[in-house]
Structure 1
Amino acid sequence: MSGSSELILYTTLGCTLCEKAKLEIWPLLQQYGLQLHEVDIADSDDLLERFHLTIPVVGLGNPDDVLAWPFNQAQLGEWLAQRVG
């Protein structure tokens, strides 16, 4: 279980799939007591190298434990339930 109160969306400018991912994310934020925090991977060489082919990616702070697109609301909910409770 994570102590995080933020769901991180790893994204970058012009990511149209990231906008689609937000439609899956928004309904779950309140349910899990989370706020969405967008992180632009272009601001970090490590994140850019790690996620440039897989964004959008969501996580709770550990870049080794993430859920990469494609995912739907049910899949994201299951992933969150295993980590947030």
Structure 2
Amino acid sequence: MPLILYQRDHCKLCDQALAVLAAARVPEFTSVWIDGDEALEARYGTRVPVLRDDARGRELDWPFDAAAAADFAAG
């Protein structure tokens, strides 16, 4: 399942999201930094961090906890 975590550089909330994903033991995911990408900035600029399940077209907006992240990753 291709999970993507959209985030920014120097983002404390993004760091917290990474810790939550680790605690939830979310399987592999790709980190994508939106900084400098106009399309991603327009879509996610005020929403990061966002966990996206690209295969299902679903997104989990911050704030989320370990249980929500695990449920989301499980499908």
1:17 and 2:10 are equivalent in the alignment: no
Instruction: Classify 1:43/1:60 alpha carbon distance in 2 versus 1 (closer, same or farther; 3 Å).
Output: farther
Q: What is the root-mean-square deviation of aligned Cα atoms in Å?
A: 1.7
Percent same amino acid at aligned positions? Answer: 27
Structure 1 alignment gaps of length 5 or more: none
2:31 counterpart residue number: 38
1:79 CA displacement: 1.6
CA distance in 2, matches of 1:80, 1:9: 12
Structure 2 alignment gaps of length 5 or more: none
1:43 CA displacement: 4.0
The superposition leaves residues 3-40 of structure 1 with CA deviations (integer Å, 9 ceiling, x where unpaired) of: x2x421101111110000111101323xxxx3131101
Letter in 2 for 1:77: A
1:65 and 2:58 are equivalent in the alignment: yes
Give TM-score, length-normalised by structure 1: 0.73
Alignment size in residue pairs: 73
1:8 counterpart residue number: 4
